[in-house]
A and B are shown apart, each in its own frame.
Chain A
């Protein structure tokens, strides 16, 4: 972790969606810093604003208020090619994220061509080395994503994101569609890549057990507002907000140790309603 300086800062960020005279604050006055080299998890249920947050960071939508800073510079909706390259996305469902009519190799090569990275003659070799880096074989480049398993497809989506040599990866539920044994392998891959490449992760998930396994820091969102943020250990030993306790208390668990932790968190000092 280089110096713990923030790579990404959200400063009083807000996003309001309006239609037919109704408006909803999908994100409400959120200030948050993501430190370089960390895996920072964003947790919340549907409607919490986690996807809106990702879309704002990626520049897919514009903020209503507040500011996003990346490497100290303000990020607006129109971004330089360099700014776009530095932030990449891995989505939940790799089958819909990959073009089914394009070979795996062509999908991974596309960002190299778009961003004009490396010499043209070396790009196919670059695709092969990216495939190896995510645990696949260079031969997979000729395949169609349809003929591959869910885990292999997600590895390809990760390879494509890495092709741009990003600094920040936005991972939107990257393992929720995967079986548990496959999920464990993909999470391990993500952990290794972060260490080897010094990447920063903005890791969106609804699964707090995954957060415990992979994240350094976690921010809990509810209805567009930041409810709680802190190091992962702190959230699981002494959650401050009633909502975080409710979330942890609802997780189905598989071991006695987990059940004991959950029982202790459920029994935590009651917070009066509306006191958040």
Chain B
């Protein structure tokens, strides 16, 4: 977006590589991806299953690095640290400086604790000295903000007692409760009905605009991306293949893979189904960057 290209990015990923397995025969998953998100920007990373989009989100949250047989190189600059190294620095920022929303809200919440206790934990990760009363007051206000009709009752419920749509709202309220700089949304609402999914996206849009939170949207659904994001990276088999603003990408897709994806989606305006290959060597063509969308060259460590 033109209005904030001068601001320092919230998240800058540089040449990020990831491989699984033992050192001698690692299986590469990410082949050096670079991307950035500026303050208040909504950026989508879109790709099919196995493309590497969810592992990118997990690396940014510091959730993969400390596991065995995971090999990471490159950098993820966020909030003054390099999150690619994992460890305590990024762990301390989870839940308050960076938060995440998952695909299935009901399984993302703990089934053995009421919402109240889970919400207190979230608020405490942002403010260790917060009292229970103060936490409950803020939790109620946060739930009211996501249009939960009876916040007190929701706090006294278990996740399985609420509908999927309600749980998704609880997740959004929790994720934004500490006003994070960055929200990572991994397929938000994909497990929900289409009308509920639309409400979820509207709600996320509205609240992040209000708080100025940047969003990294991970999705396989190009329709969702078009509705929600300002800028889009398309990922195919561990490589970014196209990068542009949402308008550039959807009005003028240039990479063979992006074109194939857009053609393969059934349209409500009709047109039947095109005859396309599931794979093609052309899909591996080099990265195409649209005008004005390059990666920043400054250092942000």
Contact = CB atoms under 8 A, between A and B. Distances in A.
Contacts of A214: 266, 273
Interface stretch (A5-13, A64-72, A118-126, A243-251): A243-251
Contact of B193 (A206, A252, A255, A258): A206
B88 interface: no
Interface stretch (A52-60, A104-112, A177-185): A177-185
Contacts of A73: none
Nearest to A185: B278
Contacts of B149: none
Interface string A210-252: 1011100000000000000000000010000000001110111
Contacts of A254: 222-223, 226, 250, 262, 265, 267
A212 B268 contact: yes
Contacts, number: 107
Contacts of B278: 151, 181-182, 185
A184 B220 CA distance: 15
B255 to A, nearest CB: 14
B197 A250 contact: yes
Contact of B266 (A45, A187, A206): A187
Contacts of B196: 45
A262 B268 CA distance: 8
Contacts of A247: 194-195
B269 A255 contact: yes
A213 B272 CA distance: 4
Contact of A261 (B221, B250, B269): B269
Interface string A187-222: 110010000000000000011111011100000000
B183 interface: no
Interface string B164-200: 0000000000000000000000000000011111100
Contacts of B299: none
B48 A252 contact: no
A181 B261 contact: yes
A275 interface: no
A129 to B, nearest CB: 23
Contacts of A252: 197-198, 201, 221, 223-224, 226-227
A46 interface: yes
Interface residues of B, number: 37
Given A213-B272, A214-B273, A257 B267 contact: yes
B53 to A, nearest CB: 12
Contacts of B266: 184, 187, 207, 209-210, 212-214
A1 interface: no
A61 interface: no
A180 B201 CA distance: 21
Contacts of A184: 264, 266, 273-274, 276
B49 interface: yes
A111 B265 CA distance: 34
Interface string B260-301: 111011111111111111110000000000000000000000
A253 interface: yes
A183 B273 CA distance: 10
11 contacts: A45-B194, A151-B278, A180-B261, A181-B276, A181-B278, A184-B273, A185-B278, A213-B271, A214-B266, A252-B223, A254-B222
Closest 7 CB pairs of A and B: A252-B223, A213-B266, A45-B193, A209-B266, A184-B264, A250-B198, A179-B48
Interface of B: 48-49, 193-198, 201, 220-224, 226-227, 250-251, 260-262, 264-279
